[in-house]
Structure 1
């Protein structure tokens, strides 16, 4: 075998398994990896903050079906990864984080940075990763890379962390036999366990006997790629389909049996439809707080069949009559096969008065965020990917942006739901999808401030990303909560011209004070291939949040939708 270094072999393994992109910020300890990547033609994307690199790796994994990758140097670089990895961990997305560490002989100098930038970084990263390990010797690398990929892609997927000490990264090593590293090693889900036949039979019997059955699809259904199987349940048997935010995209939302997103940031009609079901087939949802109105929907009086690849989630938040541990695509196909033998057909629809969908008051002089999202849906190509940030942006987009194809056309940070995700995620979505795919990132100005530097990254990489800033000069969700509690002063900023920021970084840009100007800006953005910043002066008064009292009036609270905490 030929002579090589650990850094060279890392890149060789990545190329062998089909991971073609890494996002990161360099440090002295990772320079050998950067050198090996550039020498071998491996695409490394230089970002401005390690957090954004982790978010980019997350989105890359979601759209590509391969493990996403990011890197960071020791100490401050590692601490910056935490928020991004935490979202991937909570959303079950496989990411490989390569993190540098101090030289092996300096362990006694780790505390309080006596060895430059050192700290107990493994203790920080362990809670946000499925597995963390340190490559103590060069010859360990191949086995540890193999296992890292195995852990990331099996069971409930998630991020893994490999620490490489500075002296090990540059160490010579004999080139490894790469025959065991194939593209299957970095694809996810890696295994597809089927459901037990007895569980399937019980689920089929419950569904067939139901009067108003429904499918509630979560992020696990999208991760499994159960698009055809969910469409079959809707087409063949007439089952309505509603989704969580991360489940959005499991079905074309123009389908006559597609009901939309449920929960605080969802469509009122979708939640009302779910409320009226008697049997709920839950496919890959963990029942997050906002999606379930504080675990009140589905209700205890409804019968749940809960399918998840992770048995830990079954019955954890809401009790289930039947819990099934299986890959969602496999289980959905098995259930559909079972129903075929009984040939049930359901045509039930939501009954009663539909409560109004929350939005912007007609007399509000600022641009209505929901109108901006509707304009994006009207103008953007059907194969676009919409990337939303957390907080109110997630609500506007989840409820108001219709997905016109089954697939990863909508990405949201609903695992941890921390703001500041969309900028890095937009990079990953653009580079993980087919070349030329249009990506639209929607964020409030508070969230955008976390990742403004990545506009330059998009310009440098010539990526077709439109950054839409819903600019209300403050933390909108917090401001509205403060007003409901009578708290002053409010969490507001001085006005920022984000269009000017975009131009300064080399992007096309415009500012919109009216809906017509917003539509003109979107048209201009779509007419050019590179990145564009659209700064929309939106309202700080409007909210997409659905109050549970719209569905159950006796649950009314003076805090309204803000009583979800």
Structure 2
């Protein structure tokens, strides 16, 4: 048995079903063993795509996605995806080939210092230097990636270690005495939190992506019902409550709605923050957030508590476990709660802070029509204006939570993430909402969907520019524009057809529903290009004609 055979056996034993990868000289020993493995290998077209596919897979499957790259440019092409997974707490295990150990430090062909390059963008990384360390390294990688605050782990594997005989026991397990995430919330802090909630007159629950990551959706909903507490969320926490639930009051932050922001900044007298990273996008102004409120923060990561704002009652622990303890405590010793919530927001939650001065409202129309399709689907977005419109107007619970890039804001994330999501759940079609700028970042991965007959619909919102950049130049730079317009129109439907898929251009509002229905129900790789300007203009002309 070689080191490469041992590695593949270890991956099989840990339940790995799919690897997204790209071969090169340093990782070919692994590929040679994958030929006879039960693990399915998906050949991506760029290493960045392999990480995003692993992220999409992990988000749907609930366990680490695995990607594989070679040394040198293979490693450096992973960096953006690893950073994305780190900032959004997504469990990924990245395996990279490395030049033989005796050549390290000689500037050999395709040699880079993968360990130091990827240290800032991984939760843990390791250059495996000895054959005897391989089993422990693999065991640790999967455990660390999927425990505590989840995140990416990278193992750098020298080619000679993979080629040489492997005489060690594969049943060995790792011991990590220095890594012991706190999962059970302190009962004293839980009691303090419940007492504070009971005393509050205007309590509010702020939910972040950590709730879904912990698998705590049923627990958070039980707490909401038990306390009749209104709910707001961050960008990454779509789908916690049904959009039409009167307790759901919308998204906070720079692209949130006025009601949600007013509640957290001015009106609530207590805010329970569950699994939320309070970054600058969530806080319009850190000095105003919960200024007159008691703040309770529950998070698995102690470094996240109090990072940007001062917290009154911190609770470190797994969100699911801690919410269960809170619910049990309430059952044993009921706390006083109002018969009805102190605020309803049915008529205000859709009043977003998004500008509607141009053709951007076409994205709202598309999201509304898409939400009418009564199928379970996994929906990804890229980054830009469409990401925000989707966050507000994708309302069908069967399509949520959205799979999107929040912390890093990675353009090009959505298409490969959608493909990865399908490999995790092949029974459900996948949809990628994207802009023309984002799509061109990783559009080569569309051919992977064609090769594997993925029921993928790519929706390109085409405004022939970097729309969010223009908005920022309008609002912050006195409408002084540079480098936001694309000077050449791209025929995206033709590109999709060239790669073996279907493509369609939509220029009328009346075509939106039909185009979406046909593409999604075809269960084939499709691309629909929505020409925002032409749809908006023709809609305006039609309204004017009707008025006259």
Greater than 6 Å deviation, 4+ residue runs: none
1:264-413 to structure 2, matched below 5 A, reads 264-275=254-265, 276-295=267-286, 298-340=289-331, 341-345=334-338, 346-350=340-344, 354=348, 356-358=351-353, 361=356, 364=358, 368-379=362-373, 381=375, 383-404=376-397, 409-413=401-405
| Structure 2 residue matching 1:174: 3-state secondary structure | coil
Query: Among residues 474, 498, 515, which one is paired with 1:483 in the alignment?
Result: 474
Residues 61 and 424, structure 2, Cα contact 8 Å, conserved in 1? yes
Residues 248 and 403, structure 1, Cα contact 8 Å, conserved in 2? no
Residues 469 and 533, structure 1, Cα contact 8 Å, conserved in 2? yes
For structure 2, list consecutive stretches of 5 or more residues without a partner in the other structure.
537-548
| Structure 1 residue matching 2:372: 3-state secondary structure | helix
Instruction: Give the corresponding residue for 1:90.
Output: 87
| Structure 2 residue matching 1:495: 3-state secondary structure | coil
Instruction: Give the corresponding residue for 1:225.
Output: 215
Query: Among residues 502, 510, 518, which one is paired with 1:524 in the alignment?
Result: 518
Q: How far, CA to CA, are the matches of 2:359 and 2:193 in structure 1?
A: 52
Q: How far, CA to CA, are the matches of 1:89 and 1:489 in structure 2?
A: 32
Query: Among residues 31, 48, 52, which one is paired with 1:51 in the alignment?
Result: 48
Q: How far, CA to CA, are the matches of 2:335 and 2:474 in structure 1?
A: 55
| Structure 2 residue matching 1:263: 3-state secondary structure | coil
| Structure 2 residue matching 1:260: 3-state secondary structure | strand
Instruction: Give the corresponding residue for 1:260.
Output: 250
**Corresponding position: 1:31 with 2:23:** no
Residues 215-224 or 293-302, more deviating: 293-302
Instruction: Give the corresponding residue for 2:6.
Output: 9
| 1:153-185 deviation line (CA, Å, top 9, x unaligned) | 22211111100111112222137434759xxx9
| 1:371-429 deviation line (CA, Å, top 9, x unaligned) | 11111111251x21111112222201111111415x96311110211211111111111
Query: Among residues 145, 150, 172, which one is paired with 1:152 in the alignment?
Result: 145
For structure 1, list consecutive stretches of 5 or more residues without a partner in the other structure.
543-565
Instruction: Give the corresponding residue for 1:423.
Output: 415
| Structure 1 residue matching 2:25: 3-state secondary structure | coil
1:448-527 to structure 2, matched below 5 A, reads 448-484=439-475, 485=477, 486-493=479-486, 494-527=488-521
| 1:424-469 deviation line (CA, Å, top 9, x unaligned) | 1111111112x22121111111111111111100111111111111
Cα shift at 1:540? 11
| Structure 2 residue matching 1:379: 3-state secondary structure | coil
Q: How far, CA to CA, are the matches of 1:247 and 1:365 in structure 2?
A: 27
Cα shift at 1:479? 1.6
Residues 362 and 535, structure 2, Cα contact 8 Å, conserved in 1? no
Q: How far, CA to CA, are the matches of 2:511 and 2:183 in structure 1?
A: 51
| 1:509-534 deviation line (CA, Å, top 9, x unaligned) | 21111222222221111221121111
Q: How far, CA to CA, are the matches of 1:266 and 1:166 in structure 2?
A: 49
Q: How far, CA to CA, are the matches of 1:351 and 1:488 in structure 2?
A: 38
Q: Residue 367 and residue 460 in structure 1: after superposition, are their counterparts in 2 closer, same or farther (change >3 A)?
A: farther
The alignment's C-alpha RMSD in Å is 2.5
| Structure 1 residue matching 2:166: 3-state secondary structure | strand
Instruction: Give the corresponding residue for 1:100.
Output: 97
Instruction: Give the corresponding residue for 1:546.
Output: none
| 1:8-61 deviation line (CA, Å, top 9, x unaligned) | 222211111112111111111112212212211311111111111111111211
Residues 258-267 or 83-92, more deviating: 258-267
| Structure 2 residue matching 1:232: 3-state secondary structure | helix
Count residues with an aligned counterpart.
524
Q: Residue 302 and residue 403 in structure 1: after superposition, are their counterparts in 2 closer, same or farther (change >3 A)?
A: farther
Query: Among residues 139, 161, 164, which one is paired with 2:132 in the alignment?
Result: 139
Q: How far, CA to CA, are the matches of 1:351 and 1:377 in structure 2?
A: 21
Residues 246 and 346, structure 2, Cα contact 8 Å, conserved in 1? no
Q: How far, CA to CA, are the matches of 2:93 and 2:80 in structure 1?
A: 15
| Structure 1 residue matching 2:156: 3-state secondary structure | strand
Q: How far, CA to CA, are the matches of 2:14 and 2:359 in structure 1?
A: 53
Q: TM-score scaled by structure 1?
A: 0.87
Q: TM-score scaled by structure 2?
A: 0.90
Q: How far, CA to CA, are the matches of 1:317 and 1:215 in structure 2?
A: 18
Residues 117-126 or 453-462, more deviating: 117-126
Q: How far, CA to CA, are the matches of 1:369 and 1:293 in structure 2?
A: 24
**Corresponding position: 1:194 with 2:189:** no
Residues 203 and 335, structure 1, Cα contact 8 Å, conserved in 2? no
| Structure 2 residue matching 1:44: 3-state secondary structure | strand
Cα shift at 1:352? 12
**Corresponding position: 1:70 with 2:67:** yes
Residues 380 and 404, structure 2, Cα contact 8 Å, conserved in 1? yes
Q: Residue 324 and residue 522 in structure 1: after superposition, are their counterparts in 2 closer, same or farther (change >3 A)?
A: same
Instruction: Give the corresponding residue for 1:555.
Output: none
